[in-house]
Structure 1
């Protein structure tokens, strides 16, 4: 049987942010059946050489990505292409992909994220599975609705061009994957694509386990925790909303409560939120200590697509979670987390969880049980075997 070429817009290790968590587990799953060749971008110098990937890949072509947003925007306007594509358009990556295809017996190509679909060869005979994860064009359309002036025009343009590209890619590939049934359904309705399937995110419940070995974090008072990549716009908007509109009302009932924003690369807008009752940690070695210390974990995202890893991680750690309706969508959460559509709803949910610790603990226990039963990675990725031709290989081996 032939090999797999795995194209990723970020090196899928370490699995410490949403996209890298999903791509790493996809990669590891495939490596259990086939030789896998990885071609990926590194936007962190530490990702240029990750020796851990040698155990799950037959070869690796890692290209450093340093193109600025301004350059990508200019190239987009000149070429008429989405910024999302010009930002990842790189001659070195094109050469790397061509070399792998010429050198190896590639039977299947898995493309992770729409940015990498531009590297698909026009005449390939390989089976192609496209993991869009989320419908990025819909995300930019939502951004455009909330923007004003030139930025509104730019975001609307991005949504329009990216939607056209997504539909063209879906028409070429053998299967298009999304992280939730809702996202897959939206894509079908919008594009008319037929070979569309949901493969949900999972969670490593042995790693995210309150009984696992990790360094504890000391917490004074009631700690409310948010985790995420803090240069990601929806996360910035979420913590800003919580710190300004929700936390003061929670502290009216619980003046000891503090809010911890835990995640790498906080920009000036996030750092400006820091105060005696708002902690901005920056990058931490292990998020589990902060989750374990949380009286409540919050996910107040106004814009969220698919399954939120931050919510699954908190659930797996048996923490009580208060999430926005957007953050909870796509997760089988009934009876396991508190959900609110408005600031008032989230104030009520967080206040209740801080006031009734027994109920909060019970909710956390139910959440962990749900994650164990529903979101193990092996179960979530099982449908991938048929799509990638892995079941045929297993049958021949038998």
Structure 2
């Protein structure tokens, strides 16, 4: 097997955890075709337990510890230098040295980059074939943050949107292929970076349908009689914080007025202080970290994804669909997912629409919708069929082109 370098911003394990799902399956797929040398950061002490599993999958690994508080402070220096905060946040001399040593020792000629911030470690090697999986247009996410926040955070986020977009454009032009999580995400970046249009493509997320199966024997985490409305996700992530806060304050009271047994469960690790405060509201439960989200999804009356800021494909929606649950989604949460509103899920664009959709679904549960959702995921969201595109691009002949 040929050698390949894989650069990932967060340790790609466990395989069914939020933003690690895509990177894990990417690693797993690449390891079937190459001797993979993995460089990644560990930003959660809990994640060190997963190191042996990843070492078994890869030919060699480098795990760089990342102190998130120190990284935030360090990244502020980017403001003075007109650089992207994200690049400074993930800047590490030890990781850079390991990458250089590995490229030389192993004769690396193929590099896969996962997320824009890791591209800085592939820049010194223009002779290698380089494919970047941006996943989302992160710069546009920062732009949305700037629009939602007040000064001075709006200024900070606007700075990051500008600087990161400039870097994304530079990276896309230098790499042999730039991939995103969905066709709409790729189309957005083509509009922002027309000079790289020919290199831009996408591959969708998939779902492990054997793991996220409605047939499992999951213990019921809810009290008898509760109609659980469930949101899953990392709860220190601002779009998720915004979504659950909005739902708890603007939607849930009206739902509980008609369905007093309805309880909103916010299921996810590292709940921010704003999320923890929501537990003081009637009918809101904040679980924090749970060993397995599947019982919460399997026994939910309804899953909700009321995201108002989103980029790419929402794994939480696909996983709930795979478990044959009815899901109520915002237009932002539906973006990039091939599902028909009214058949495989419910779509609601504002608070009155969410209230109406949730009330209707609680009053008249529709098992057929969950079954249709499961069938769609089985048909369209298998990992291997999507990931084969990455290997195709890695093996394609490099076109003759001007230097970026």
Spell out the pairing of 1:54-203 with structure 2 (5 A cutoff). Answer: 54-68=55-69, 70-192=72-194, 193-194=196-197, 195-203=199-207
What is the RMSD computed on CA atoms of the aligned residues?
A: 1.6
2:25 & 2:89 partners in 1: Cα distance? 25
2:20 & 2:72 partners in 1: Cα distance? 25
- 1:330 counterpart residue number: 336
Question: Is the Cα–Cα contact under 8 Å of residues 203 and 313 in structure 1 kept in the other structure?
Answer: yes
1:352 equivalenced with 2:360 (yes/no)? yes
Question: Is the Cα–Cα contact under 8 Å of residues 43 and 68 in structure 2 kept in the other structure?
Answer: no
Unaligned stretches of 5+ in structure 2?
A: 398-404
Question: Is the Cα–Cα contact under 8 Å of residues 219 and 293 in structure 1 kept in the other structure?
Answer: no
1:250-293 deviation per Cα after TM superposition (whole angstroms, max 9, x unaligned)? 11110110000000000111010014511100000000000011
1:169 & 1:249 partners in 2: Cα distance? 47
Question: Is the Cα–Cα contact under 8 Å of residues 328 and 345 in structure 2 kept in the other structure?
Answer: yes
- 2:370 counterpart residue number: 364
- 2:402 counterpart residue number: none
1:124-178 deviation per Cα after TM superposition (whole angstroms, max 9, x unaligned)? 3211000000001111111111222221111111101111000000000000000
2:161 & 2:122 partners in 1: Cα distance? 22
Identify if the C-alpha distance between structure 1 residues 67 and 295 changes in structure 2 by more than 3 Å, giving closer, same or farther.
closer
Q: Alpha-carbon deviation of 1:200?
A: 0.6
- 1:46 counterpart residue number: 46
1:157-210 deviation per Cα after TM superposition (whole angstroms, max 9, x unaligned)? 110111100000000000000001000001011111120001110000000001
If the length of structure 2 is used for normalisation, what is the TM-score?
0.93
Question: Is the Cα–Cα contact under 8 Å of residues 11 and 47 in structure 1 kept in the other structure?
Answer: yes
Of 324, 347, 351 in structure 2, the residue corresponding to residue 343 of structure 1 is: 351
Q: Alpha-carbon deviation of 1:2?
A: 2.5
Of 199, 211, 215 in structure 2, the residue corresponding to residue 211 of structure 1 is: 215
Of 294, 316, 323 in structure 2, the residue corresponding to residue 288 of structure 1 is: 294
Of 255, 258, 263 in structure 2, the residue corresponding to residue 253 of structure 1 is: 258
Deviates more, 1:216-225 or 1:165-174: 216-225
Identify if the C-alpha distance between structure 1 residues 326 and 294 changes in structure 2 by more than 3 Å, giving closer, same or farther.
same
1:118 & 1:383 partners in 2: Cα distance? 23
1:129 & 1:123 partners in 2: Cα distance? 12
Question: Is the Cα–Cα contact under 8 Å of residues 214 and 286 in structure 1 kept in the other structure?
Answer: no
Identify if the C-alpha distance between structure 1 residues 344 and 387 changes in structure 2 by more than 3 Å, giving closer, same or farther.
same
1:118 & 1:132 partners in 2: Cα distance? 13
1:308 & 1:76 partners in 2: Cα distance? 30
Identify if the C-alpha distance between structure 1 residues 211 and 123 changes in structure 2 by more than 3 Å, giving closer, same or farther.
closer
1:70 & 1:88 partners in 2: Cα distance? 10
Of 226, 234, 244 in structure 1, the residue corresponding to residue 231 of structure 2 is: 226
1:305 & 1:88 partners in 2: Cα distance? 21
If the length of structure 1 is used for normalisation, what is the TM-score?
0.95
Extract structure 1 runs of 4+ deviating beyond 3 A: 213-216
Give the number of equivalent residue pairs: 390
Q: Alpha-carbon deviation of 1:337?
A: 0.5
Question: Is the Cα–Cα contact under 8 Å of residues 320 and 363 in structure 1 kept in the other structure?
Answer: yes
- 1:21 counterpart residue number: 21
Q: Alpha-carbon deviation of 1:70?
A: 4.3
Q: Alpha-carbon deviation of 1:390?
A: 8.6
Question: Is the Cα–Cα contact under 8 Å of residues 301 and 362 in structure 2 kept in the other structure?
Answer: yes
Of 295, 311, 314 in structure 2, the residue corresponding to residue 305 of structure 1 is: 311
Q: Alpha-carbon deviation of 1:122?
A: 2.4
2:155 & 2:396 partners in 1: Cα distance? 44
Identify if the C-alpha distance between structure 1 residues 95 and 244 changes in structure 2 by more than 3 Å, giving closer, same or farther.
same
Q: Alpha-carbon deviation of 1:51?
A: 1.4
Question: Is the Cα–Cα contact under 8 Å of residues 218 and 298 in structure 2 kept in the other structure?
Answer: no
Unaligned stretches of 5+ in structure 1?
A: 392-398
- 1:396 counterpart residue number: none
1:314-341 deviation per Cα after TM superposition (whole angstroms, max 9, x unaligned)? 0001000001110011101102010111
1:91 & 1:18 partners in 2: Cα distance? 28
1:73 & 1:161 partners in 2: Cα distance? 13
1:220-255 deviation per Cα after TM superposition (whole angstroms, max 9, x unaligned)? 321000000000000000000000000001111101
- 2:382 counterpart residue number: 376
